[in-house]
């Protein structure tokens, strides 16, 4: 598919048969290797479409005592109007300080474990430990904290607004630093001297000792628990299994607290494909966890563009645009699909066609009876197949 420079077979060039030619000027060969379908697009690509890919590796890294964070917002990926993401790591004992957001926060634990604390508007407390494969969701305005346990933790956060920035959250240290001490004293009924050592700026993230077992940390006078827990054991659920992979779905039907973000964890085997489909309710924000894949987005008006994805990349598909995700590597491809919605919903091209009168399909596509008989089968949604 891609003709290489004869002098160095590892250097890709934009050459297709007799078309194209070598790049003589400056180029970034590692990026070209990771994006072969951008360097030499398939002939089915056509028209001008925005960028649907952003690697977290190019996001600014905020390095702090106790961990780090980096974000992908509409600033980095302009098409991402509905959702933004943050990749964060906390060392053992590392704390993302007590804070809250205007936006709802959804998270998937990539590795390690953490302790979460929160309180809802009715004063009901929540404390729980999460580990690899678990989710959490904090509605907008709900104050919470995150702390790494004995091995630390890394996670991906998704917010239901593309303009969100992790750097503009409401933090308890920031509020104290910008409140007169006499007001703090009056509010808490203590002397002003009690606040002599408070930080004079937002702390954001810091490191302290690893908390003890959760039963020792839960307040003895803890009020009634929240009605809808803020955590969910996604990978403990039974997945939908198909010929080429499996998928775990979490939305408000099984993760009751998650009112504004629905999600799916998808695993596609080598040679497999997340079938051609579209989402009939909202945009799709993707995060690639493992493996390599490619996606072509069909935008109508004769427009289509193909992208390659690796672990750590963000993908995006605007509302109703057709697409697929194909495993192009030799290991399983695992990625998250997130939606600003209370329900997961998609429309399968395979299923639609399989339930359309055959003669109507043949008149449209000029296919024969062999395709109708063997190419179309009724499938369960969402589908991953060879």
pLDDT in tens, 296-341: 999 999 999 999 999 999 999 999 999 999 999 999 999 999 999 9
* Cβ atoms within 10 Å of 210's Cβ, excluding its own: 16
- Cis peptide, bond prior to residue 84, ω within 30 of zero: no
- The residues near 34 (Cβ < 8 Å, ≥ 6 apart) are 308, 310
Tens-digit pLDDT profile for residues 25-42:
999 999 999 999 999 999
Q: What percent of the chain has pLDDT over 70?
A: 93
pLDDT at 375: 74
Longest CA–CA separation in the chain, Å: 85
**How many angstroms separate the CA atoms of 104 and 119, rounded?**
14
More confident residue, 235 or 384: 235
Mean pLDDT of 244-261: 97
Do 56-232 and 236-385 agree at the fold level? yes
Helix/strand/coil for 323: strand
pLDDT over threshold 50, residue 97: yes
Catalytic residue among 13, 97, 292, 337: 337
Tens-digit pLDDT profile for residues 339-350:
999 999 999 999
pLDDT over threshold 80, residue 284: yes
- Give the chain's mean pLDDT: 93
pLDDT at 9: 56
| CA nearest neighbour of 246 among 335, 377, 307, 132 | 335
pLDDT at 220: 63
pLDDT at 219: 63
Q: How confident is the model at residue 1 (pLDDT cuts 50, 70, 90)?
A: very low
Tens-digit pLDDT profile for residues 116-152:
999 999 989 999 999 999 999 999 999 999 999 999 9
Domain boundaries, the chain: 56-232, 236-385
pLDDT at 381: 47
For residue 337, indicate whether it is catalytic: yes
Mean pLDDT of 198-209: 96
Q: How confident is the model at residue 215 (pLDDT cuts 50, 70, 90)?
A: confident
CATH number for the domain running over 236-385: 2.60.120.10
Q: How confident is the model at residue 5 (pLDDT cuts 50, 70, 90)?
A: very low
pLDDT at 73: 98
pLDDT at 3: 44
pLDDT at 18: 94
CATH class of the domain comprising 56-232: mainly beta
Q: What percent of the chain has pLDDT over 90?
A: 84
pLDDT over threshold 60, residue 17: yes
pLDDT over threshold 90, residue 167: no
| CA nearest neighbour of 159 among 51, 283, 260 | 260
């Amino acid at each position: 598919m891609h003709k290489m420079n004869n002098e160095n077979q590892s250097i890709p060039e934009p050459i297709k048969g007799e078309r194209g030619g070598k790049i003589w000027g400056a180029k970034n060969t590692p990026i070209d290797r990771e994006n072969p379908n951008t360097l030499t697009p398939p002939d089915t690509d056509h028209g001008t479409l925005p960028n649907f890919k952003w690697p977290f590796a190019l996001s600014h890294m905020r390095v702090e005592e106790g961990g780090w964070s980096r974000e992908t917002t509409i600033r980095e990926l302009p098409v991402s109007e509905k959702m933004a993401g943050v990749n964060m790591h906390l060392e053992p004992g590392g704390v993302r300080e007590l804070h809250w957001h205007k936006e709802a926060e959804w998270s998937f634990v990539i590795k390690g474990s953490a302790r979460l604390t929160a309180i809802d508007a009715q004063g009901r407390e929540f404390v729980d430990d999460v580990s690899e494969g678990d989710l959490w969701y904090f509605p907008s305005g709900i104050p919470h904290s995150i702390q790494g346990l004995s091995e630390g933790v890394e996670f991906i956060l998704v917010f239901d607004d593309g303009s969100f920035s992790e750097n503009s959250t409401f933090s308890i240290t920031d509020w104290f630093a910008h409140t007169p001490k006499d007001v703090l004293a009056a509010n808490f009924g203590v002397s002003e001297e009690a606040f002599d050592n408070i930080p004079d700026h937002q702390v954001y993230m810091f490191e302290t000792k690893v908390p003890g077992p959760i039963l020792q940390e839960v307040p003895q006078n803890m009020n009634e628990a929240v009605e809808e827990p803020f955590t969910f054991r996604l990978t403990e659920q039974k997945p939908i299994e198909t010929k080429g992979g499996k998928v775990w779905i979490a939305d408000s039907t099984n993760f009751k607290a998650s009112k504004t973000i629905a999600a799916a964890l998808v695993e596609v085997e080598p040679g497999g494909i997340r079938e051609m489909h579209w989402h009939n309710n909202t945009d799709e924000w993707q995060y690639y966890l493992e493996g390599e894949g490619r996606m072509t987005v069909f935008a109508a008006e004769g427009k289509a563009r193909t992208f390659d994805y690796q672990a750590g990349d963000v993908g995006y598909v605007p509302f109703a645009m057709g697409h697929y995700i194909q495993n192009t590597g030799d290991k399983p491809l695992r990625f998250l699909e997130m939606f600003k919605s209370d329900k997961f919903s998609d429309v399968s091209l395979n299923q639609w066609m399989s339930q359309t009168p055959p003669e109507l399909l043949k008149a449209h596509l000029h296919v024969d009876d062999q395709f109708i008989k063997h190419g179309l089968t009724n499938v369960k949604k969402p589908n991953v197949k060879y």
